[in-house]
Structure 1
Amino acid sequence: MKIDQIRAANLRRLAKNSNNQTEFAKQLGISSPYLTHMIGPTPYRVVSEKGARKFEKLLNLPFGALDIPVDGTTPSYISKFELNNIIKRLGEELGPETKVSATKFAMLLTLALDQPEKIKQLIALMLE
């Protein structure tokens, strides 16, 4: 599933849970027809990165919430937020004293993107 489809699906779900689509659109600061263009049965407008972050703020959702699939599928992308968190965790686990080449760090990052819950084990394997 592509990022624009995930964002549209999340907005669609939120719109269904609201009282009505017109009020939901007003809450997002857009018109009801514009919202329909993004989440209707045949959407022809995408929810951009900038738009998603704006909508999350207006809806009091956590940063990146609209990028998370709700149907259990794995997205075919990684958001900037997730990437930042994984890089930060890698840095924390490695510590300031650890010397790692750019190539090893790139390999670690690639593995961590696939299995972020195993960062400690991945580092241990790479530094052996």
Structure 2
Amino acid sequence: MKRTYTKVEKFFEKITYLITAVLGSSITFFLALVMVVFWFFNRQYSQHDTNEVIRDLIHGITFLSLFVIQKEFSRFSGSLHLKVNELVASTETASNSVINVESKTEIEIHELQKEYAELVEKIEKPEDKL
């Protein structure tokens, strides 16, 4: 059962990575922009009141904002990972297991978190005084 769960989890992570990459793409944004412009002008030629036009504009802008936010998040996240990887790689005592941790599965990340939580407990645990 655990093996099946792991396979499903890895598949889901690949799908989310793909969707994130597609939503953060400039091409996807421009396709969405063309779709919104087409939708808006198609709705303009029929009889609508001002409130419906404003509502349509707000919906279109909100829809396009999703792509802009995803693009910026992907860029920010990528640059942050590079900076952290550089810091880890340049420190001799650092564990190299956290380099490119963003490409690990959620299960692997949880295992690393447990290891570091245990390490913190060992460090914070006051030594017995003699």
TM-score, normalization: structure 2?
0.28
Choose between structure 1 and 2 for higher RCO, CA contacts under 8 A separated by at least 6 residues. Answer: 2
Q: Which has the higher helix share?
A: 2
TM-score, normalization: structure 1?
0.28
| Structure whose alpha-carbon radius of gyration is higher | 2
